[in-house]
Structure 1
Amino acid sequence: MQTNRAETFGRFDPGRNNPPLKRGEVFVHSLSSWTASVSHLLSAAGLAQQLAGHRTVLLKPNLVEASVPPVTTPVDLTAAVVDFIQAQAPGIRIIIGEGCGSLEYDTPHCFATLGYTELAADRKIELLDLNHAPLIEISHPQCRRWPSMHLPSVLFESFLISLPVLKAHTLAGVTLSMKNMMGAAPPRHYQQGGHWKKAAFHTGIHDAICDLNRYRRPDFTLLDASVGMQKAHLWGPTCDPAPNLLVCGYDPVAVDAYGCGILGLDWRDIGHLAEAHGELGQADPLLPHEI
């Protein structure tokens, strides 16, 4: 597929049209029900006000494979976010976008298996396979691992909401908001062998994640920390006891640092967070608001 070329000068600021927000700020709420808890938390975070003036919102769940939660983002959480947006920002275009990593099937299989196809039909919203979406090519002089990248143009045309799951990761330490952006990387540019559609990210994974977020970091993150995976991202034990929390914020570095704390990890030991701190967000001090 032909790509358009664009240049970024300096660091891309996804919140460029929004008023300044506190770095390090996170909002935390216990889960009672998806609908009530998500609505309460997003209201407290002021998401409706931040959506004002935007034509499109892109929801980016973690649907890395067609595995049930807590490996993937629960469709009920995503549905609650959709319902909130449709109620608070009527008329805004909503797209659910993901690019799965399996070599055995593509993203529509994940959408169908995990309930997202039914959700989209019921709410009259769009599904987009980011593995095959139209691309632009972007360059960034500060990036070492990816001095240029091919990324879906929709990322830069939408208010981007990341919907990750609380999980440890065998290579990256954790997979939270920042790493969730890897689903947007198109396989035709980032497969490069291996047993995964984005295997090029496995080389220098922390630099790769950090560079990707330099091109496009989420405008807002809602982290599902209701269950959590303690040791790995596709297998192994869940958190015991379950945290039963939802965490959100406009600073993905802060949300990820808070998520590390829930998992009993020090964010300073996670390479991409240590690198991103002070540039793409603030991991310390955190400013938590328990809602």
Structure 2
Amino acid sequence: MQRPCATAEFISYEETIPSLLKNIGAPELLRRQQRILIKPNLVNASPPPVTLPVAACAALVRACRQWSDAEIIIAEGTGEKHLTTDEVFAIHGYDRLAKEEGIELVDLNEAGLIELRDPRNKVFPTFMMPRLVMESFVLSAAVLKAHSLSTVTLSMKNMIGVAPPAYYQRGGHWKKSAFHKQMQSSIFELNRYRKPDLAFIDASIGLSDYHLGGPTCDPPVNKLVGGFDPVAVDAVGSELLGFPWQQVGHIKMADGELGRADSFPPIHE
């Protein structure tokens, strides 16, 4: 049976990720997929825990491959202004992972696009979305981090990486700067167009104050979080950082529409 959300004590990526995915009932669903797109948080060239460790992504790839014959792709669109996504992949060792596992790396900043429309949206009534994202099973692989504008950056905010800079870099030093003006609503509206099919948060360490550096959580959070409800998964992540989910705008907006924030298990189960 598929579970909306579960947590696991972190031992190692190789051991804990398969155990967590089994716990939420992932094998059965992954087995039915034709293409699995793993979208790691590689916002820039900074090392983990700003970005997702390549070891975590490797464990996700191997778990998916264990249960599914689907094509597996790692896809990201970095926000780093002066580097391409391919350069960021190489800095973090994802090029070596792709070669070892025989999988493709895709730069979503340069991918083919389709135009989507949702008249309910105020910030993004239309959105230019990579076609590949709409045609794949999306696993959003986030890192547990606080954020100055969105309070937290977790599996739903991780989806900002899909936004093509040709349309969403509007000044500033970030390739997705259009999201800055109304960050909470922007995240929610983006996820209306495409929310993760499977949400994962590496909460083994955690950044307590700032998503691009600063102090790590002390002590380390030492958990992994996953589930098929990104709202519940992000609610858990928010609580692990000490923020009640009701105080996080995009989680509160998404609650009841994109998932249920209250459907998570006790954090210390």
Question: Counterparts of 1:42 and 1:285 in 2: how far apart (Å)?
Answer: 17
Q: Distance in 2 between matches of 1:40 and 1:226?
A: 15
In structure 2, the partner of 1:75 is 54
1:48 Cα deviation (Å)? 1.4
The structure 1 residue matched to 2:174, chosen from 196, 207, 226, is 196
State how far apart, in whole Å, the 2-side matches of 1:266 and 1:45 are.
23
Distance in structure 2 (CA, Å) of the matches to 1:183 and 1:207: 16
Q: In the alignment, residue 21 of structure 2 is paired with which amino acid?
A: L
Secondary structure of 1:79's partner?
helix
Structure 1: runs of 5+ lacking an equivalent: 1-18
Q: Which amino acid aligns with 2:8?
A: H
Partner of 1:40: 19
Question: 1:139 and 2:120 equivalent?
Answer: no
- Identify the match of residue 278 of structure 1 among 256, 260, 264: 256
State the alpha-carbon separation in 2 of the partners of residues 52 and 37 from structure 1: 20
Tell me which amino acid in the other structure corresponds to 1:139. Answer: R
Aligned match for 2:203, one of 219, 222, 225 = 225
Tell me the distance in 2 between the aligned counterparts of 1:289 and 1:227: 16
Match of 1:64 in 2: 43
After superposition, the CA RMSD in angstroms is 1.4
Once the 2 structures are TM-superposed, how far is the Cα of residue 252 of structure 1 from its aligned partner? 0.5
**Aligned equivalent of 2:91:** 113
Alignment check: 8 A CA contact 2:31 2:67 kept: no
What is the match of residue 106 of structure 2?
A: 128
Instruction: Give the letter for the 1:99 counterpart.
Output: G
Please say if residues 5 and 263 of structure 2, whose CA atoms lie closer than 8 Å, have aligned partners that are also in contact: no
2-structure distance, mates of 1:147, 1:237: 37
- Aligned residue pairs total 269
Matched to 1:158, the amino acid is S
1:130 positional shift: 0.4
3-state secondary structure, aligned to 2:39: strand
Tell me the distance in 2 between the aligned counterparts of 1:282 and 1:252: 9
Higher relative contact order (CA 8 A, sep 6+): 1
Task: Find the aligned partners of 1:218 and 1:32 in 2 and give their Cα distance.
Answer: 25
1:164 is paired with a residue of what secondary structure? Answer: strand
The reply to whether residue 93 of structure 1 matches residue 71 of structure 2 is: yes
Answer yes or no: is 1:267 the counterpart of 2:241: no
Kindly tell me: are residues 153 and 288 of structure 1, through their superposed partners in 2, closer, same or farther at Cα, counting changes over 3 Å? farther
Q: Calculate the TM-score normalised by the size of structure 1.
A: 0.90
Q: CA deviation at 1:52?
A: 2.8
What SS does structure 2 have at the residue aligned with 1:259?
A: helix
Measured in 2, the distance between the counterparts of 1:289 and 1:169 equals 21
Separation in structure 1 between the aligned mates of residue 176 and residue 126 of structure 2, nearest angstrom: 16
Cα deviation digits, residues 252-280 of structure 1 (max 9, x gap): 11011101111011111111111111111
Q: Which blocks of at least 5 consecutive residues in structure 2 are unaligned?
A: none
Q: TM-score, normalised by structure 2?
A: 0.97
SS of alignment partner, residue 158 of structure 2: helix
1:62-112 CA-to-partner distances (Å, cap 9, x unmatched) read: 0000111000001101100111111111x3100000000111111111100
Equivalent residues in 2 for 1:172-211, closer than 5 Å: 172-211=150-189
Q: Which residue of 2 aligns with 1:14?
A: none
In 2, distance between residues paired with 1:168 and 1:266?
12
CA displacement 1:143-196 (0-9 Å, x = unmatched) = 111000001001111110000000000111100011000000000000011111
Shift in Å at residue 290 of structure 1?
Answer: 6.8
8 Å CA contact 1:167–1:174 kept in 2: the answer is yes
Cα distance, 1:289 vs. partner? 8.2
Q: Taking structure 1 as reference, are residues 158 and 289 closer, same or farther at Cα in structure 2, changes over 3 Å only?
A: farther
Secondary structure at 1:280 match in 2: coil
Moved more, 30-39 or 278-287: 278-287
Amino acid aligned to 1:175: T
- The equivalent of 1:212 in structure 2 is 190
1:187–1:197 CA contact under 8 A, matched in 2: yes
Asked whether the 8 Å contact 1:210–1:272 carries over to 2, the reply is: yes
Identity score, percent: 47
Match of 2:225 in 1: 247
AA paired with 2:253? E
1:27–1:290 Cα contact (<8 Å) kept: no
Moved over 3 A (4+): 287-291
